[in-house]
Amino acid sequence: MTRTQRRLSEPTQTEEQRTPPRVWSATRVGAGLVLGLWAAMFWILLITGRIHLYLSTRTLWVAPIGAALLTIAAIGRLSAARVSRREPLRRRETIVLAGMVLPIILILALPPATLGAFTVSKKSASSGAGAGLARGSLQNDGPITLLGVFEAENSSTSMSTLASRAGTQVDFVGFVTHDPGSSPGEFELNRWVFVCCAADTLLIQVRVVNAPPAVTNSWVEVKGSIYALGRQVLVVATSVAPTPVPSQPYLTD
């Protein structure tokens, strides 16, 4: 090889100076970590079963797909985080990323809780709002469930079916509330129905009579005879027993 050819084949000092070492981009690393935290949150909620506190069965598919996509996005963002120029994390971007992390902290750090008596006081029973939901849950025979009551509360035809089954034995689980005008030995048994998520829950409410004292917001199992009186559903209790909060406290149609 001649001297001229060797000079042409060897990189010049100028070319070496044009390729500075690659550095980590603070902006991309921050975004990748936030995406990873969101993915981790979804995986944790799925593994622990707490996802049922936020999503109904009809929208539960969103969680695993979201967790997988967020995981892929986090890996992709971090793998492309080395750049040729420094990309510092500016104040505005820091605030945005911090705001995205805050919901994760609140969901994972706070103890899991279900909607209870306070929410009932702010939200009335379904009263037609769930028309079309839980259709077919109430039959002319077979066990009567709270979803069947929910159907009756939203359909005059189903309420007539429930009325025709007066005296049927039922076994319901829910949490206790008391109306201001309730008589001793009475309380409301409540259960929430998820339509899509916790933001659009509807209330099932049954009046329980012939009952022992029960603490507001406590979960109980009520056994007794059911009756439909106009638009109100009433259970004459033969047994009221404390019970743990169900693993899936919200019903889905």
- Cβ atoms of residues 198 and 182 within 8 Å: no
* DSSP bridge pairs for 173: 221
Task: Please report the pLDDT score of residue 252 as a whole number.
Answer: 77
Domain-wise residue ranges, the chain: 17-109, 117-252
Task: Please report the pLDDT score of residue 176 as a whole number.
Answer: 92
> How far, in Å, are 22, 158, 227 from residue 18 at the CA level?
12, 78, 85
Over 80: is that where the pLDDT of 251 sits?
Answer: yes
Q: Please give the Cα distance from 253 to 246 (Å, whole number).
A: 17
Most confident of 51-65, 118-132, 152-166, 222-236: 222-236
Q: Please give the Cα distance from 117 to 67 (Å, whole number).
A: 32
Domain spanning 117-252: CATH 2.40.50.140: yes
Task: Please report the pLDDT score of residue 169 as a whole number.
Answer: 94
Band of the pLDDT at 128, cuts 50, 70, 90? very low
What DSSP string describes 191-241?
Answer: EEEESSBGGG-EEEEEEEES-----TT-EEEEEEEEEEETTEEEEEEEEEE
| Structure tokens that stand for 64 in this block | 């695993």
Burial of 237 (0-12, 13-18, 19+ CB in 10 A): buried
Half-sphere exposure of 182 (CA within 13 A, CB side): 20
Over 50: is that where the pLDDT of 108 sits?
Answer: yes
| Structure tokens that stand for 106 in this block | 């609140």
